[in-house]
Structure 1
Amino acid sequence: MKFAHFDTDAFLRDHWQKRPLLIRNPWGKWHNPLAPDELAGLACEEGVESRLISRDGIRLAMESGPLPEERFGELGKDPWTLLVQAVDHHVPDVAALIAPFRFVPDWRIDDVMVSYAVTGGGVGPHFDQYDVFLIQGLGTRRWRVGQLCDSATPLLPHEDLRLIASFDVTDEWDLEPGDILYVPPGFAHDGVATSDDCMTYSIGFRAPSRAELIEGWCDALVDAAADEDRYADPDLTTQLNPGEIRADAIERMHAMVTEALADREAFTRWVGRHVSIPKYPDMDWRPEEQLTQDAVGDLIADGAELSRNPASRFSFIRRPDGAITLFVDGEAYDCTAETADFAEHLCAGAMEQTAGLLAGSAEAVALITTLINQGSLAFDAED
């Protein structure tokens, strides 16, 4: 799917992480990529994160999946909503919805959550800590957008849902199939289905918190630190009061910490590994038997096509020397000139161009063999 009309530069300039925007059907030709029954089937599967939110009077209740198939037949006339995470990992046509939004870097993309609701269904007024594009797939939904919220915003008491206590509506729109609502982080919003068979596709974007980055980077430094890397004071002199922690000792210890934290090259490599860790690693594409480099080379020579595991994350960082480090599912691979072009095409998702780049390159075939055996890539089933 592609946009027939949408000014990406104007959107990034005027709206991205600034203010909400209603985008009336920008698709060349919209078609809903997933049937409601298929979504319900996913919610019944082990390993698929799903939630059922139903209304009992004025109170919302949440059940976590997997849901028994008969549960849907037990739902009464009260409004309800089904939410299923990472549907793009299971349905290629849903994954295709991401492509038009790749003006945002891939490492920021989280997943595509799909919701189904009957008339009146919704999850209540809330706010998120990430950007989201809400695509109306089927039926109609009324979206209301309100104030900018933060961690100090009062919430209603609820053990499962983070619902804001006071919702000050500033805008309201009715979305029809193909329409998109963009909501930046922190803006209160509430969507209520105004028809049965209402489906919405939520493309969310990750934004690591400062706390997450500090904790993750420090944990990595601690894991890598040698036991003998300790405080030392070979120039120690007698001090008047042995109970004092002198300024020179503080300076040494502060330097030990800040020098490690300030290692930009090591931090860059850690970031690449960190943001490429898959959110749902249970989609295991590892072959039953590990493939050899010779076997992979033969398949490539025969024209076999490769596919990326939809749960895997691929990114690269261009180093100051012009070389590339490829990051796949939390692992780092330094790529020479021989494999750099292939790594870039792999990250771009241009799988149809990989065969020519691999031809005759033992180093590239070795990389592919590693990625296949760790489950990040696979040859297409017919191959």
Structure 2
Amino acid sequence: MVLKDFDSAAFLRDYWQKAPLLIRNPWPVWNNPLEPDELAGLACEAEVESRLVVGAQGSWAVEHGPMAETHFARLGKAPSTLLVQAVDHHVPEVAALIEPFRFIPNWRIDDVMVSYATDGGGVGPHYDQYDVFLIQGNGRRRWRVGQLCDDDSPLIPHDDLRLLAEFHATDEWVLEPGDILYVPPRIAHDGVAVGDDCMTYSVGFRAPSRSELLTHFVDDLVAQMQDDDRYSDTDFAIQDNPGEISNIALDRLHRLAIEQLQDRASFTRWFGRFSSTRKYPEIDWSPEDLVSEADIETCLRSAAIVMRNPASRFSFVQEGVMTLLFVDGSTFECVSACKAFAEALCKADRVALPPHPNPDAELVKLMTDLVNQGSIAFDEQVES
């Protein structure tokens, strides 16, 4: 899927993380990929994260899913907004909305949240810490964008919503089906449905904070450390005052604390695992019947198409002649045929494979592992 007359290089130069941009219906043909009833059905599932925001300016009430099937019929006339996270994990047609934005690296992509709002529905003026493309799927929504915010921006007290106490609109548009609004991080914005049956698809991107990186990387390093890896001072000299912490001791302690943080190779492998961990790792996507390497060899002897699980995350790093493939928090070291497949799998959600009369053993093992952890599947079921 390609957007018409959209210059991704110019967008990155002039707008990415700099300024909002309205893109009027750039799709060759726009079709809303999801019906409201289907979205409501997902909100009733226990493994799907959802929220229902009822009310309007000054009086928002929030309910968390899963929702009861009969709940939506009892909402009355108050404006309401249903928000469902990671719909791309469950609906391939929604996952396809990410494809036009693949000029952004895979590791930055979060998910596609879908909202359905009745007339006047919205979640109030707020700002996010991430980039987002807001695609109008059905109906109309009035968007206003405003000031640049930060942690000091005053908020209205609310248990569930981060609502801005002050909102100074600088631009305003009404989006029609197929229109896209890009909003950079920390830019205040507010969307209100104009009429009923308003559906918006939010393609969101991740940006880890410094504290998040440090916390998780340090936790990973500490888990691998031995208890006898301790401070030592075999050349200790008598001090004039035993109460002083000497500069020599501080230098050694500082090195002991940070030297492993400076190991780029360790950071690379940790970040690959960390950034590729699924958004909802508690959900088990593995097949009911696990496959064997013999099953995979049989499939590879004929032409086949391999499909990525939309809930899975794929990325890779070049390390010399090796490609480190990261999938759903796991690391795979790939060379030769395995390397080419790994890079193709990260580039596209479907990979066509020609017949392999003598399948490469490492490729077979990689594909077996990926199928059994639910990260990939063949377009036709592999018989076991």
TM-score by length of 2: 0.96
Pairing 1:165-184 to 2, within 5 Å after superposition: 165-184=165-184
* C-alpha contact 1:285 1:378 (8 A) present in aligned 2: no
* 1:160-181 per-position Cα deviation (integer Å, ceiling 9, x unaligned): 1000001101000010001000
Decide whether aligned partners of structure 1 residues 358 and 208 sit closer, same or farther in structure 2, where only a CA change above 3 A counts: farther
2:252 maps to: 252
* C-alpha contact 1:47 1:282 (8 A) present in aligned 2: no
Identity %: 59
* C-alpha contact 1:283 1:311 (8 A) present in aligned 2: no
* C-alpha contact 1:136 1:200 (8 A) present in aligned 2: yes
Pairing 1:1-383 to 2, within 5 Å after superposition: 1-55=1-55, 58-319=58-319, 321-349=320-348, 351-355=350-354, 360-380=359-379, 382-383=381-382
* C-alpha contact 1:131 1:204 (8 A) present in aligned 2: yes
Q: Superposition RMSD on alpha carbons, in Å? A: 1.6
Decide whether aligned partners of structure 1 residues 302 and 337 sit closer, same or farther in structure 2, where only a CA change above 3 A counts: closer
Q: CA deviation at 1:337?
A: 2.2
* 1:49-103 per-position Cα deviation (integer Å, ceiling 9, x unaligned): 0100001784000000010011011011111000000000111111000000111
- 2:340 maps to a residue whose letter is D
* 1:352-383 per-position Cα deviation (integer Å, ceiling 9, x unaligned): 33455796211100111111222212233544
- 2:369 maps to a residue whose letter is T
Structure 1: stretches of 5+ with no match in the other structure: none
* C-alpha contact 1:136 1:179 (8 A) present in aligned 2: yes
* C-alpha contact 2:4 2:28 (8 A) present in aligned 1: yes
Higher mean C-alpha deviation, range 300-309 or range 344-353 = 300-309
* 1:157-212 per-position Cα deviation (integer Å, ceiling 9, x unaligned): 11110000011010000100010000000000000000110000000000000110
Higher mean C-alpha deviation, range 91-100 or range 297-306 = 297-306
- 1:112 maps to a residue whose letter is V
TM-score by length of 1: 0.96
Count of equivalent residues: 382
* C-alpha contact 2:334 2:342 (8 A) present in aligned 1: yes
Structure 2: stretches of 5+ with no match in the other structure: none
* 1:113-150 per-position Cα deviation (integer Å, ceiling 9, x unaligned): 00001110000000000000000010001000010001
Decide whether aligned partners of structure 1 residues 184 and 325 sit closer, same or farther in structure 2, where only a CA change above 3 A counts: same
- 2:375 maps to a residue whose letter is S
* C-alpha contact 2:305 2:352 (8 A) present in aligned 1: no
- Work out the CA distance in 2 between the residues paired with 1:45 and 1:197: 21
* C-alpha contact 1:112 1:204 (8 A) present in aligned 2: yes
* 1:232-285 per-position Cα deviation (integer Å, ceiling 9, x unaligned): 111122223323222211111111122111111111111111100100124422
Decide whether aligned partners of structure 1 residues 304 and 285 sit closer, same or farther in structure 2, where only a CA change above 3 A counts: farther
